[in-house]
Structure 1
Amino acid sequence: MTMTTRTTTGMGMGKITGTTTRMADAELFDLMSWMSPAWPIGAFAHSGGLEWAVEAGHVTDRASTLAWITAMVEHGSIRNDVVLFTHAWRAAKARDVPALADIAELALASQIGHERRLESTAQGAAFVRIARSASGVAPFAELLAEIEDQEAAYPVVAAVLFACRGLEFERALTAWLHGAVSNLVSAAQRLVPLGQTDGQLVLHDCRPCVLRAVEDALSLPEDDPFDALGGCTLMADLGCMAHETQYTRLFRT
Protein backbone atom coordinates (compact mmCIF):
# COMPACT_ATOMS: atom_id res chain seq x y z
CA MET A 1 0.00 0.00 0.00
CA THR A 2 1.48 3.39 -0.97
CA MET A 3 0.36 6.90 -0.06
CA THR A 4 1.58 9.66 -2.38
CA THR A 5 1.43 13.42 -1.83
CA ARG A 6 2.26 16.19 -4.29
CA THR A 7 3.83 19.52 -3.45
CA THR A 8 4.58 22.39 -5.84
CA THR A 9 7.91 24.16 -6.12
CA GLY A 10 8.39 27.84 -6.89
CA MET A 11 9.33 26.94 -10.47
CA GLY A 12 5.87 25.49 -11.03
CA MET A 13 7.13 21.89 -11.21
CA GLY A 14 5.52 19.10 -9.25
CA LYS A 15 7.54 17.27 -6.63
CA ILE A 16 6.43 13.77 -5.69
CA THR A 17 6.99 12.48 -2.17
CA GLY A 18 6.13 8.83 -1.58
CA THR A 19 5.43 7.29 1.82
CA THR A 20 5.44 3.52 1.79
CA THR A 21 4.10 1.58 4.74
CA ARG A 22 6.59 -0.32 6.84
CA MET A 23 4.69 -3.52 6.05
CA ALA A 24 5.30 -3.15 2.31
CA ASP A 25 8.95 -2.37 2.97
CA ALA A 26 9.26 -5.53 5.07
CA GLU A 27 7.63 -7.66 2.35
CA LEU A 28 10.04 -6.30 -0.26
CA PHE A 29 12.99 -6.90 2.06
CA ASP A 30 11.95 -10.53 2.61
CA LEU A 31 11.44 -11.12 -1.12
CA MET A 32 14.89 -9.72 -1.90
CA SER A 33 16.41 -11.87 0.85
CA TRP A 34 14.81 -15.08 -0.42
CA MET A 35 15.92 -14.40 -4.00
CA SER A 36 19.39 -13.25 -2.98
CA PRO A 37 22.47 -15.38 -3.84
CA ALA A 38 23.05 -15.36 -0.07
CA TRP A 39 19.93 -17.56 0.38
CA PRO A 40 21.66 -20.94 0.49
CA ILE A 41 19.94 -23.18 -2.07
CA GLY A 42 23.03 -23.99 -4.15
CA ALA A 43 21.77 -22.43 -7.39
CA PHE A 44 25.34 -21.61 -8.40
CA ALA A 45 26.04 -25.32 -8.86
CA HIS A 46 23.53 -25.73 -11.71
CA SER A 47 23.59 -24.56 -15.32
CA GLY A 48 20.31 -26.04 -16.58
CA GLY A 49 22.08 -27.77 -19.47
CA LEU A 50 23.92 -24.61 -20.50
CA GLU A 51 27.28 -26.26 -19.86
CA TRP A 52 26.54 -28.87 -22.53
CA ALA A 53 25.25 -26.17 -24.92
CA VAL A 54 28.54 -24.28 -24.63
CA GLU A 55 30.66 -27.39 -25.18
CA ALA A 56 28.52 -28.41 -28.16
CA GLY A 57 28.98 -24.98 -29.73
CA HIS A 58 25.37 -23.84 -29.55
CA VAL A 59 26.09 -20.99 -27.13
CA THR A 60 29.21 -19.03 -28.00
CA ASP A 61 28.57 -15.33 -27.37
CA ARG A 62 26.14 -12.76 -25.97
CA ALA A 63 23.56 -13.15 -28.73
CA SER A 64 23.39 -16.94 -28.52
CA THR A 65 23.29 -16.78 -24.70
CA LEU A 66 20.29 -14.45 -24.87
CA ALA A 67 18.58 -16.68 -27.46
CA TRP A 68 19.12 -19.78 -25.31
CA ILE A 69 17.78 -18.21 -22.11
CA THR A 70 14.83 -16.59 -23.87
CA ALA A 71 13.86 -19.94 -25.39
CA MET A 72 13.91 -21.56 -21.96
CA VAL A 73 11.62 -18.87 -20.54
CA GLU A 74 9.19 -18.83 -23.46
CA HIS A 75 9.12 -22.46 -24.54
CA GLY A 76 11.23 -24.64 -22.23
CA SER A 77 11.62 -25.86 -18.68
CA ILE A 78 11.43 -22.39 -17.12
CA ARG A 79 8.09 -21.82 -18.82
CA ASN A 80 6.79 -25.02 -17.21
CA ASP A 81 8.18 -23.85 -13.88
CA VAL A 82 6.09 -20.69 -14.28
CA VAL A 83 2.96 -22.83 -14.68
CA LEU A 84 3.81 -24.83 -11.56
CA PHE A 85 4.67 -21.69 -9.61
CA THR A 86 1.35 -20.09 -10.55
CA HIS A 87 -0.80 -23.03 -9.51
CA ALA A 88 1.20 -23.59 -6.32
CA TRP A 89 0.78 -19.93 -5.38
CA ARG A 90 -2.98 -20.16 -5.93
CA ALA A 91 -3.25 -23.34 -3.88
CA ALA A 92 -1.20 -21.85 -1.06
CA LYS A 93 -3.37 -18.72 -1.00
CA ALA A 94 -6.41 -20.97 -0.69
CA ARG A 95 -4.65 -23.07 1.99
CA ASP A 96 -5.41 -26.15 -0.12
CA VAL A 97 -2.95 -28.78 1.13
CA PRO A 98 -4.19 -31.67 -1.08
CA ALA A 99 -3.95 -29.48 -4.20
CA LEU A 100 -0.40 -28.51 -3.28
CA ALA A 101 0.54 -32.16 -2.88
CA ASP A 102 -0.86 -32.90 -6.35
CA ILE A 103 1.05 -29.97 -7.88
CA ALA A 104 4.26 -31.11 -6.20
CA GLU A 105 3.78 -34.60 -7.64
CA LEU A 106 3.15 -33.16 -11.09
CA ALA A 107 6.28 -31.02 -10.78
CA LEU A 108 8.40 -34.14 -10.29
CA ALA A 109 6.69 -36.05 -13.08
CA SER A 110 7.24 -33.18 -15.52
CA GLN A 111 11.02 -33.16 -15.14
CA ILE A 112 12.67 -34.42 -18.34
CA GLY A 113 15.65 -36.48 -17.29
CA HIS A 114 17.61 -37.08 -14.11
CA GLU A 115 19.46 -33.77 -14.05
CA ARG A 116 16.36 -31.62 -14.50
CA ARG A 117 14.85 -33.41 -11.51
CA LEU A 118 18.09 -33.04 -9.54
CA GLU A 119 18.27 -29.31 -10.22
CA SER A 120 14.70 -28.67 -9.12
CA THR A 121 14.60 -30.95 -6.07
CA ALA A 122 18.08 -30.11 -4.74
CA GLN A 123 17.27 -26.42 -4.73
CA GLY A 124 13.74 -27.08 -3.49
CA ALA A 125 14.86 -29.17 -0.54
CA ALA A 126 17.47 -26.58 0.42
CA PHE A 127 14.88 -23.81 0.10
CA VAL A 128 12.49 -25.66 2.41
CA ARG A 129 15.14 -26.28 5.04
CA ILE A 130 16.33 -22.70 5.26
CA ALA A 131 12.82 -21.26 4.98
CA ARG A 132 11.62 -23.32 7.93
CA SER A 133 14.45 -21.96 10.05
CA ALA A 134 14.92 -18.42 8.83
CA SER A 135 11.85 -17.10 7.01
CA GLY A 136 9.63 -16.48 10.03
CA VAL A 137 6.53 -17.53 8.02
CA ALA A 138 4.56 -19.95 10.17
CA PRO A 139 2.02 -21.48 7.70
CA PHE A 140 4.79 -22.46 5.30
CA ALA A 141 5.69 -25.77 6.97
CA GLU A 142 2.02 -26.65 7.53
CA LEU A 143 1.16 -26.33 3.85
CA LEU A 144 4.08 -28.57 2.87
CA ALA A 145 3.25 -31.24 5.43
CA GLU A 146 2.37 -33.82 2.75
CA ILE A 147 5.49 -33.17 0.63
CA GLU A 148 8.80 -34.85 1.45
CA ASP A 149 11.80 -32.52 1.37
CA GLN A 150 13.57 -34.57 -1.29
CA GLU A 151 10.46 -34.33 -3.49
CA ALA A 152 10.03 -30.58 -3.19
CA ALA A 153 10.39 -28.82 -6.55
CA TYR A 154 11.93 -25.38 -6.30
CA PRO A 155 9.22 -23.32 -8.07
CA VAL A 156 6.50 -24.99 -6.00
CA VAL A 157 8.02 -24.37 -2.57
CA ALA A 158 9.11 -20.83 -3.46
CA ALA A 159 5.55 -20.01 -4.54
CA VAL A 160 4.19 -21.40 -1.28
CA LEU A 161 6.49 -19.24 0.83
CA PHE A 162 5.72 -16.10 -1.18
CA ALA A 163 1.97 -16.72 -0.96
CA CYS A 164 2.13 -17.37 2.79
CA ARG A 165 4.00 -14.10 3.22
CA GLY A 166 1.21 -12.30 1.39
CA LEU A 167 3.37 -11.13 -1.49
CA GLU A 168 1.65 -9.88 -4.63
CA PHE A 169 1.69 -12.58 -7.31
CA GLU A 170 3.19 -10.45 -10.09
CA ARG A 171 6.01 -9.20 -7.87
CA ALA A 172 6.71 -12.69 -6.52
CA LEU A 173 6.86 -14.38 -9.92
CA THR A 174 8.93 -11.57 -11.44
CA ALA A 175 11.48 -11.95 -8.65
CA TRP A 176 11.57 -15.72 -9.02
CA LEU A 177 12.06 -15.48 -12.78
CA HIS A 178 14.74 -12.84 -12.33
CA GLY A 179 16.58 -15.28 -10.06
CA ALA A 180 16.27 -18.14 -12.57
CA VAL A 181 17.48 -16.00 -15.46
CA SER A 182 20.27 -14.44 -13.40
CA ASN A 183 21.59 -17.87 -12.51
CA LEU A 184 21.82 -18.83 -16.20
CA VAL A 185 23.57 -15.53 -16.97
CA SER A 186 26.04 -16.19 -14.16
CA ALA A 187 26.72 -19.68 -15.54
CA ALA A 188 27.23 -18.25 -19.03
CA GLN A 189 29.74 -15.74 -17.70
CA ARG A 190 31.86 -18.62 -16.46
CA LEU A 191 31.28 -21.02 -19.34
CA VAL A 192 31.17 -19.05 -22.61
CA PRO A 193 32.82 -16.99 -21.12
CA LEU A 194 31.03 -13.65 -21.09
CA GLY A 195 32.45 -10.50 -19.58
CA GLN A 196 30.65 -8.64 -16.80
CA THR A 197 29.25 -6.05 -19.21
CA ASP A 198 27.95 -8.63 -21.68
CA GLY A 199 26.40 -10.55 -18.81
CA GLN A 200 24.51 -7.49 -17.64
CA LEU A 201 23.40 -6.72 -21.18
CA VAL A 202 21.98 -10.24 -21.52
CA LEU A 203 20.14 -9.86 -18.22
CA HIS A 204 18.75 -6.50 -19.34
CA ASP A 205 17.62 -7.92 -22.67
CA CYS A 206 15.83 -10.77 -20.88
CA ARG A 207 13.47 -8.29 -19.23
CA PRO A 208 10.83 -8.27 -22.01
CA CYS A 209 10.45 -12.06 -22.08
CA VAL A 210 10.31 -12.24 -18.27
CA LEU A 211 7.59 -9.60 -18.09
CA ARG A 212 5.64 -11.36 -20.87
CA ALA A 213 5.90 -14.63 -18.94
CA VAL A 214 4.44 -12.98 -15.85
CA GLU A 215 1.63 -11.45 -17.89
CA ASP A 216 0.86 -14.82 -19.49
CA ALA A 217 0.81 -16.47 -16.06
CA LEU A 218 -1.93 -14.11 -14.91
CA SER A 219 -4.23 -15.51 -17.60
CA LEU A 220 -3.60 -19.19 -16.86
CA PRO A 221 -6.91 -20.98 -16.26
CA GLU A 222 -7.76 -22.39 -12.86
CA ASP A 223 -8.13 -25.97 -14.14
CA ASP A 224 -5.60 -28.82 -14.14
CA PRO A 225 -2.04 -27.39 -14.47
CA PHE A 226 -1.10 -30.43 -16.54
CA ASP A 227 -3.10 -28.97 -19.43
CA ALA A 228 -0.84 -25.90 -19.49
CA LEU A 229 2.48 -27.77 -19.47
CA GLY A 230 4.45 -28.33 -22.64
CA GLY A 231 7.58 -27.30 -24.45
CA CYS A 232 9.50 -27.25 -27.69
CA THR A 233 13.13 -26.99 -26.62
CA LEU A 234 14.17 -30.49 -27.61
CA MET A 235 17.86 -29.62 -27.95
CA ALA A 236 17.98 -28.22 -24.43
CA ASP A 237 16.23 -31.29 -23.01
CA LEU A 238 18.55 -33.66 -24.82
CA GLY A 239 21.48 -31.52 -23.71
CA CYS A 240 20.52 -32.00 -20.07
CA MET A 241 20.59 -35.76 -20.62
CA ALA A 242 23.91 -35.59 -22.48
CA HIS A 243 25.41 -33.57 -19.64
CA GLU A 244 25.12 -36.60 -17.36
CA THR A 245 28.00 -38.26 -19.24
CA GLN A 246 29.89 -35.12 -20.29
CA TYR A 247 33.63 -35.68 -19.83
CA THR A 248 34.47 -32.36 -18.18
CA ARG A 249 31.87 -30.72 -15.95
CA LEU A 250 31.96 -27.64 -13.72
CA PHE A 251 28.26 -27.81 -12.86
CA ARG A 252 25.98 -30.50 -11.49
CA THR A 253 23.48 -29.98 -14.34
Structure 2
Amino acid sequence: MPITGMAEAPAHGVAGVGLLPLFAWLSPAFPVGGYAYSHALEWAVEAGDITDEASLADWIKDLLLHGFARSDAILLSLAFQAAQAGDADRLAEVNALAVALAPSAELRLETCQQGLSFLDAVRASWPHDRLETLAGAFTGEVAYPVAVGAAAAVHGLPEEQVVPAFLQALMQALVSAGIRLAPIGQTSGMRVLSALAPAIMALAAEIPGLGEDDLGTSTFRADLGSFRHETQYTRLFRS
Protein backbone atom coordinates (compact mmCIF):
# COMPACT_ATOMS: atom_id res chain seq x y z
CA MET A 1 0.00 0.00 0.00
CA PRO A 2 1.51 3.38 -0.96
CA ILE A 3 2.24 5.85 1.84
CA THR A 4 0.33 9.07 1.27
CA GLY A 5 1.63 12.49 2.17
CA MET A 6 5.27 11.65 1.40
CA ALA A 7 7.24 13.22 -1.42
CA GLU A 8 8.86 10.78 -3.80
CA ALA A 9 12.64 10.58 -3.46
CA PRO A 10 14.41 12.41 -6.31
CA ALA A 11 15.61 10.23 -9.16
CA HIS A 12 19.20 11.41 -8.68
CA GLY A 13 19.37 10.12 -5.10
CA VAL A 14 18.96 11.57 -1.62
CA ALA A 15 21.48 14.18 -0.52
CA GLY A 16 22.31 15.45 2.94
CA VAL A 17 21.48 12.32 4.91
CA GLY A 18 25.00 11.04 5.57
CA LEU A 19 25.27 7.35 6.36
CA LEU A 20 21.59 6.87 7.17
CA PRO A 21 20.89 4.86 3.99
CA LEU A 22 23.70 2.47 4.90
CA PHE A 23 22.26 1.96 8.39
CA ALA A 24 18.90 1.13 6.84
CA TRP A 25 20.26 -1.15 4.12
CA LEU A 26 22.29 -3.29 6.53
CA SER A 27 19.64 -3.42 9.23
CA PRO A 28 17.99 -6.79 9.98
CA ALA A 29 14.72 -5.01 9.14
CA PHE A 30 15.76 -4.38 5.52
CA PRO A 31 13.70 -6.76 3.33
CA VAL A 32 16.39 -9.10 2.00
CA GLY A 33 15.35 -12.20 3.96
CA GLY A 34 18.69 -12.59 5.73
CA TYR A 35 16.98 -14.13 8.77
CA ALA A 36 16.28 -17.25 6.70
CA TYR A 37 19.96 -18.15 6.15
CA SER A 38 22.67 -19.45 8.49
CA HIS A 39 25.54 -20.10 6.04
CA ALA A 40 25.72 -23.74 7.18
CA LEU A 41 25.88 -22.76 10.85
CA GLU A 42 22.73 -24.83 11.41
CA TRP A 43 24.57 -27.94 10.25
CA ALA A 44 27.55 -27.08 12.48
CA VAL A 45 25.23 -27.03 15.49
CA GLU A 46 23.62 -30.29 14.43
CA ALA A 47 27.06 -31.90 13.99
CA GLY A 48 28.20 -30.77 17.43
CA ASP A 49 30.86 -28.36 16.19
CA ILE A 50 29.10 -25.45 17.91
CA THR A 51 27.96 -26.11 21.46
CA ASP A 52 28.65 -22.92 23.42
CA GLU A 53 29.78 -19.31 23.21
CA ALA A 54 33.46 -20.14 22.65
CA SER A 55 32.83 -22.58 19.80
CA LEU A 56 30.40 -20.17 18.14
CA ALA A 57 33.00 -17.39 18.36
CA ASP A 58 35.69 -19.60 16.82
CA TRP A 59 33.44 -20.75 13.98
CA ILE A 60 32.26 -17.27 13.06
CA LYS A 61 35.73 -15.75 13.29
CA ASP A 62 37.00 -18.35 10.83
CA LEU A 63 34.20 -17.41 8.42
CA LEU A 64 35.25 -13.77 8.80
CA LEU A 65 38.99 -14.14 8.31
CA HIS A 66 39.24 -17.25 6.12
CA GLY A 67 35.78 -17.73 4.66
CA PHE A 68 33.01 -16.11 2.71
CA ALA A 69 32.97 -12.81 4.61
CA ARG A 70 36.46 -11.84 3.48
CA SER A 71 35.73 -12.78 -0.14
CA ASP A 72 32.38 -11.00 -0.08
CA ALA A 73 34.07 -7.84 1.18
CA ILE A 74 36.57 -8.01 -1.69
CA LEU A 75 33.73 -8.51 -4.18
CA LEU A 76 31.85 -5.58 -2.66
CA SER A 77 34.94 -3.40 -3.11
CA LEU A 78 35.39 -4.47 -6.73
CA ALA A 79 31.72 -3.79 -7.45
CA PHE A 80 31.97 -0.42 -5.70
CA GLN A 81 34.90 0.59 -7.89
CA ALA A 82 33.16 -0.55 -11.07
CA ALA A 83 29.94 1.30 -10.21
CA GLN A 84 31.85 4.41 -9.18
CA ALA A 85 33.50 4.41 -12.61
CA GLY A 86 30.17 3.77 -14.32
CA ASP A 87 31.59 0.60 -15.89
CA ALA A 88 28.60 -1.70 -16.38
CA ASP A 89 30.65 -4.34 -18.20
CA ARG A 90 33.13 -4.58 -15.32
CA LEU A 91 30.26 -4.72 -12.83
CA ALA A 92 28.75 -7.63 -14.76
CA GLU A 93 32.11 -9.45 -14.66
CA VAL A 94 32.41 -9.01 -10.90
CA ASN A 95 28.85 -10.23 -10.41
CA ALA A 96 29.37 -13.31 -12.57
CA LEU A 97 32.48 -14.17 -10.57
CA ALA A 98 30.67 -13.66 -7.26
CA VAL A 99 27.83 -15.98 -8.28
CA ALA A 100 30.23 -18.61 -9.60
CA LEU A 101 32.22 -18.65 -6.35
CA ALA A 102 29.26 -19.91 -4.30
CA PRO A 103 30.34 -23.42 -3.26
CA SER A 104 26.88 -25.02 -3.03
CA ALA A 105 23.32 -24.59 -4.28
CA GLU A 106 22.14 -23.34 -0.90
CA LEU A 107 24.89 -20.77 -0.59
CA ARG A 108 24.26 -19.60 -4.14
CA LEU A 109 20.61 -19.14 -3.22
CA GLU A 110 21.68 -17.28 -0.06
CA THR A 111 23.71 -14.67 -1.89
CA CYS A 112 21.52 -14.37 -4.99
CA GLN A 113 18.16 -14.14 -3.25
CA GLN A 114 19.46 -11.49 -0.88
CA GLY A 115 21.23 -9.65 -3.69
CA LEU A 116 18.13 -9.39 -5.87
CA SER A 117 15.92 -8.45 -2.91
CA PHE A 118 18.43 -5.80 -1.83
CA LEU A 119 18.65 -4.29 -5.30
CA ASP A 120 14.87 -4.24 -5.70
CA ALA A 121 14.38 -2.58 -2.31
CA VAL A 122 17.01 0.10 -2.91
CA ARG A 123 15.72 0.88 -6.38
CA ALA A 124 12.21 1.27 -5.00
CA SER A 125 13.10 3.29 -1.89
CA TRP A 126 16.36 5.10 -2.79
CA PRO A 127 15.99 5.53 -6.58
CA HIS A 128 18.88 6.84 -8.63
CA ASP A 129 19.28 7.22 -12.38
CA ARG A 130 22.78 5.74 -12.39
CA LEU A 131 21.65 2.71 -10.40
CA GLU A 132 18.93 2.07 -12.96
CA THR A 133 21.51 2.23 -15.74
CA LEU A 134 23.95 -0.07 -13.96
CA ALA A 135 21.21 -2.52 -13.04
CA GLY A 136 21.17 -3.45 -16.72
CA ALA A 137 24.47 -5.25 -16.05
CA PHE A 138 22.55 -7.86 -14.07
CA THR A 139 20.77 -10.12 -16.50
CA GLY A 140 19.76 -12.72 -13.93
CA GLU A 141 21.23 -13.55 -10.55
CA VAL A 142 22.73 -10.78 -8.44
CA ALA A 143 25.22 -11.56 -5.66
CA TYR A 144 24.52 -9.75 -2.40
CA PRO A 145 27.93 -8.04 -1.93
CA VAL A 146 27.88 -6.83 -5.53
CA ALA A 147 24.44 -5.29 -5.09
CA VAL A 148 25.53 -3.55 -1.88
CA GLY A 149 28.74 -2.26 -3.43
CA ALA A 150 27.02 -0.90 -6.51
CA ALA A 151 24.26 0.85 -4.57
CA ALA A 152 26.71 2.36 -2.10
CA ALA A 153 28.94 3.77 -4.84
CA VAL A 154 26.04 5.26 -6.77
CA HIS A 155 24.74 7.01 -3.67
CA GLY A 156 28.16 8.40 -2.79
CA LEU A 157 28.69 6.46 0.42
CA PRO A 158 32.38 6.16 1.39
CA GLU A 159 33.89 2.75 0.76
CA GLU A 160 35.93 2.93 3.97
CA GLN A 161 32.66 3.08 5.91
CA VAL A 162 30.67 0.64 3.79
CA VAL A 163 33.11 -2.28 4.05
CA PRO A 164 33.32 -2.54 7.87
CA ALA A 165 29.57 -1.94 8.18
CA PHE A 166 28.93 -4.75 5.70
CA LEU A 167 31.25 -7.13 7.56
CA GLN A 168 29.63 -6.20 10.86
CA ALA A 169 26.19 -6.94 9.40
CA LEU A 170 27.33 -10.36 8.16
CA MET A 171 28.72 -11.24 11.58
CA GLN A 172 25.62 -9.96 13.33
CA ALA A 173 23.43 -12.16 11.13
CA LEU A 174 25.53 -15.22 12.00
CA VAL A 175 25.42 -14.41 15.70
CA SER A 176 21.65 -14.03 15.48
CA ALA A 177 21.41 -17.46 13.84
CA GLY A 178 23.69 -18.90 16.52
CA ILE A 179 21.48 -17.55 19.29
CA ARG A 180 18.48 -19.26 17.73
CA LEU A 181 20.28 -22.55 17.17
CA ALA A 182 22.87 -23.09 19.89
CA PRO A 183 22.40 -23.18 23.68
CA ILE A 184 23.66 -19.62 24.20
CA GLY A 185 21.77 -16.51 25.24
CA GLN A 186 21.60 -13.05 23.78
CA THR A 187 24.26 -11.69 26.13
CA SER A 188 26.67 -14.41 25.05
CA GLY A 189 25.91 -13.59 21.44
CA MET A 190 26.66 -9.92 21.99
CA ARG A 191 29.96 -10.82 23.65
CA VAL A 192 30.88 -12.79 20.53
CA LEU A 193 30.00 -9.84 18.30
CA SER A 194 31.90 -7.38 20.49
CA ALA A 195 35.01 -9.56 20.50
CA LEU A 196 34.96 -9.66 16.68
CA ALA A 197 35.12 -5.87 16.31
CA PRO A 198 38.95 -5.52 16.16
CA ALA A 199 39.20 -8.30 13.57
CA ILE A 200 36.43 -6.71 11.50
CA MET A 201 38.19 -3.35 11.46
CA ALA A 202 41.58 -4.87 10.67
CA LEU A 203 40.16 -6.87 7.76
CA ALA A 204 38.18 -3.90 6.46
CA ALA A 205 41.37 -1.84 6.33
CA GLU A 206 42.99 -4.43 4.04
CA ILE A 207 40.10 -4.82 1.59
CA PRO A 208 40.63 -1.76 -0.67
CA GLY A 209 44.11 -3.02 -1.53
CA LEU A 210 42.92 -6.50 -2.50
CA GLY A 211 41.66 -7.78 -5.85
CA GLU A 212 40.48 -10.86 -7.71
CA ASP A 213 43.75 -12.70 -7.11
CA ASP A 214 43.11 -12.47 -3.36
CA LEU A 215 39.74 -14.19 -3.50
CA GLY A 216 39.41 -17.63 -1.97
CA THR A 217 38.40 -19.41 1.21
CA SER A 218 39.76 -22.19 3.40
CA THR A 219 36.67 -23.00 5.45
CA PHE A 220 36.24 -26.46 3.97
CA ARG A 221 34.15 -27.89 6.78
CA ALA A 222 31.65 -25.07 6.51
CA ASP A 223 31.46 -25.53 2.73
CA LEU A 224 30.90 -29.28 3.10
CA GLY A 225 28.37 -28.56 5.81
CA SER A 226 26.34 -26.52 3.35
CA PHE A 227 26.00 -29.64 1.17
CA ARG A 228 25.01 -31.76 4.14
CA HIS A 229 22.49 -29.18 5.25
CA GLU A 230 20.53 -29.79 2.06
CA THR A 231 19.43 -33.20 3.40
CA GLN A 232 19.46 -32.40 7.11
CA TYR A 233 16.38 -33.91 8.75
CA THR A 234 15.19 -30.83 10.66
CA ARG A 235 15.96 -27.35 9.42
CA LEU A 236 15.03 -23.83 10.49
CA PHE A 237 17.16 -22.12 7.84
CA ARG A 238 17.49 -22.28 4.09
CA SER A 239 21.28 -22.66 4.25
TM (normalized to structure 1)? Answer: 0.86
Q: Secondary structure at the match of 1:82?
A: helix
Hey, what's the Cα distance between the residues in 1 that align with 2:135 and 2:196? 32
Hey, what's the Cα distance between the residues in 2 that align with 1:85 and 1:186? 22
User: Which residue in 1 is equivalent to 2:234?
Assistant: 248
User: Which residue in 1 is equivalent to 2:167?
Assistant: 177
Please point out which of 218, 232, 235 is paired with 2:221.
Answer: 235
2:172 is aligned with 1:186: no
User: Which residue in 1 is equivalent to 2:40?
Assistant: 49
Cα shift readout 1:47-69 (whole Å, capped 9, x = no counterpart): 00000000001011111111111
Higher strand share: 1
Hey, what's the Cα distance between the residues in 1 that align with 2:113 and 2:34? 9
The answer as to whether partners of 2:64 and 2:70 remain within 8 angstroms in 1 is: yes
Please point out which of 99, 112, 131 is paired with 1:140.
Answer: 131
Please point out which of 57, 73, 76 is paired with 1:82.
Answer: 73
Query: Mapping of 1:191-230 within 5 angstroms?
Result: 191-221=181-211, 225=212, 227-230=213-216
Hey, what's the Cα distance between the residues in 1 that align with 2:28 and 2:73? 20
Shift of 1:191: 0.2
Q: Secondary structure at the match of 1:38?
A: coil
User: Which residue in 2 is equivalent to 1:98?
Assistant: 89
The answer as to whether partners of 1:31 and 1:172 remain within 8 angstroms in 2 is: yes
Shift of 1:200: 0.7
Hey, what's the Cα distance between the residues in 1 that align with 2:137 and 2:68? 25
Shift of 1:233: 0.7
Runs (5+) with no aligned partner, structure 2? 1-13
The answer as to whether partners of 2:71 and 2:216 remain within 8 angstroms in 1 is: yes
Q: Secondary structure at the match of 1:66?
A: helix
Amino acid aligned to 2:138: I
The answer as to whether partners of 2:114 and 2:143 remain within 8 angstroms in 1 is: yes
Instruction: Name which structure has the greater RCO, CA cutoff 8 Å, separation 6+.
Output: 2
TM (normalized to structure 2)? Answer: 0.91
The answer as to whether partners of 1:85 and 1:159 remain within 8 angstroms in 2 is: yes
Runs (5+) with no aligned partner, structure 1? 1-21
CA RMSD of aligned residues (A): 1.4
Hey, what's the Cα distance between the residues in 1 that align with 2:15 and 2:115? 27
The answer as to whether partners of 1:137 and 1:161 remain within 8 angstroms in 2 is: no
Q: How many residues align?
A: 226
Hey, what's the Cα distance between the residues in 1 that align with 2:227 and 2:84? 35
Percent identity at matched positions? Answer: 41
Hey, what's the Cα distance between the residues in 2 that align with 1:218 and 1:128? 23
Superposition misfits of 4+ residues, deviation over 2 angstroms: none
Shift of 1:23: 5.5
User: Which residue in 1 is equivalent to 2:113?
Assistant: 122
Hey, what's the Cα distance between the residues in 2 that align with 1:77 and 1:213? 13
Q: Secondary structure at the match of 1:151?
A: coil
The answer as to whether partners of 1:27 and 1:165 remain within 8 angstroms in 2 is: no
